[in-house]
Amino acid sequence: MSNRRLEEAYRPIAKGPHLVHVSSCADDSIEANAIQHLIKASSQNQVLIVTDPALAHFVICVGVRQDGAFANLRLNPVWRRWPEKCFVYHETYNPPTLLHGICSSIPQWKNWFGRFRSFGYPLLTHLCPNPVPDGLFGIKEPKRYLFSFVGRWSHAVRRRLFAHSWPDDVFVRCSHDTYSRFIRAPEKDSRAEEVRYWQTMAASKFALCPRGAGVSSIRLFEAMSIGVAPIIVADGWVPPVGPRWDRFALFVPERDVRHLAAIVRTHETEWEERGRLAYAAYNDYFRPEHFWPSLFVAINSIQQKQRVPERLFGTFSWALTTMEWIYQAGWSARVKLVAQARSMRRRCSRDTETSAKRF
């Protein structure tokens, strides 16, 4: 472990070896195996993976699905028995509130009582690799764009981005029907879209990172990994502890997306320095070899600062489950309404084209 900053936070509390049990809530063990691999590869023999949760100092619960208000987490007996030493690990857009833990996309309104810490996306990066083309490094590449964004229309903020008319030096494109970041390597048809994704980002002075279905975006960490400063458009985002985010990231309120070009232009001359600081922060905290130290620091922070014992939340899990049911029902209704609106627009567009051809 060569990272000085993370070592300073990790060394005083690292009294290994730590006994860790990984508990899978899913029917398969894909995530559990991946997490064990990441821990072993980054722990420098500070961790022993154990099969008996009773022996473990920490239990990491993975494979959590949101179906049925996180039914597979609710049915997991391990965390019910040892809630204080169990921590959920979750990287998708809607993290559970039943159990404290480390979540990549935890919104501020769910982070009650200091029960959660924000994180990057090492698991998704491991399972769905999107490697940087050889030799591509944002700070050294010629710049064609002030900022760029290629992504899916997974939130109203992004739909406003796609509907807006941008200057010639801004590249914003919807890839909803052409490219998905979250496809596992064996299932991908071609690297062409991935290469274009990286080339566009590297050719930009800043990388636009609007929230999607969740408040965070894996694009934020990918931009940092090649030295491109991020523009974070996510009002409810909880930043991971460690980096001095204000030194390299630009924060723009969601309500101001139409004014992005003017806002970013006031910082245009800072792109190189911010890019270097973003790259340094990624190397200091988010590289795969830092997975276990970063995870351990986050767990320790929860243990030290959580204001209400986790066992009490387990007692009132019925209330948290009810809240999740309500939230998921509302989210599902919004998704259906957006899909119906898109379908109506397409039909209207086809009808207009048909009428024009007739005349």
Residues 127-162: tens digit of each pLDDT? 999 899 999 999 999 999 999 999 998 899 999 999
Evaluate if residue 284 carries a pLDDT over 60. yes
Task: Report whether pLDDT(242) > 70.
Answer: yes
Where, residue-wise, is CATH 3.40.50 in the chain? 4-120+291-315, 129-285
The domain 129-285: what is its CATH number? 3.40.50
Beta strands in 108-152 (DSSP E): 116-118, 145-151
Please check the confidence at residue 249 and state whether its pLDDT lies above 50: yes
Tell me the sheet residues that pair with 251.
232
Whether omega before 17 lies within 30 degrees of 0, making that bond cis, reads: yes
- Tokens 């209704």 -> residue: 333
Rounded-to-integer distance, Cα 97 and Cα 110, Å: 7
Q: What one-character-per-residue DSSP string does 258-290 give?
A: GGHHHHHHTTGGGHHHHHHHHHHHHHHHTSGGG
- Of 15, 2, 24, 88, the residue nearest 47 (C-alpha): 15
63/58 Cα distance (integer angstroms): 17
- Which class is 4-120+291-315 in CATH? alpha beta
Q: What percent of the chain has pLDDT over 90?
A: 69
Mean pLDDT of the 175-203 span = 78
Per-residue pLDDT at 297: 93
CA 236 vs CA 102, 222, 239: distances in Å: 16, 20, 10
**Element (DSSP H or E) covering residue 12:** none
79 has a pLDDT exceeding 60: yes
Residue 264 half-sphere exposure, CB side, CA atoms within 13 Å? 31
> What is the C-alpha separation between 355 and 359, in angstroms, rounded?
7
With tokens 């990994």, the residue in question is 225
Q: Give me the percent of the chain exceeding a pLDDT of 70.
A: 86
Average pLDDT over residues 96-125: 94
Q: Quick one: pLDDT at residue 315? A: 87
CA atoms 169, 175, 180, 185: torsion sign: negative
The per-residue DSSP string of 210-233 comes to E--SSS--HHHHHHHHTT-EEEEE
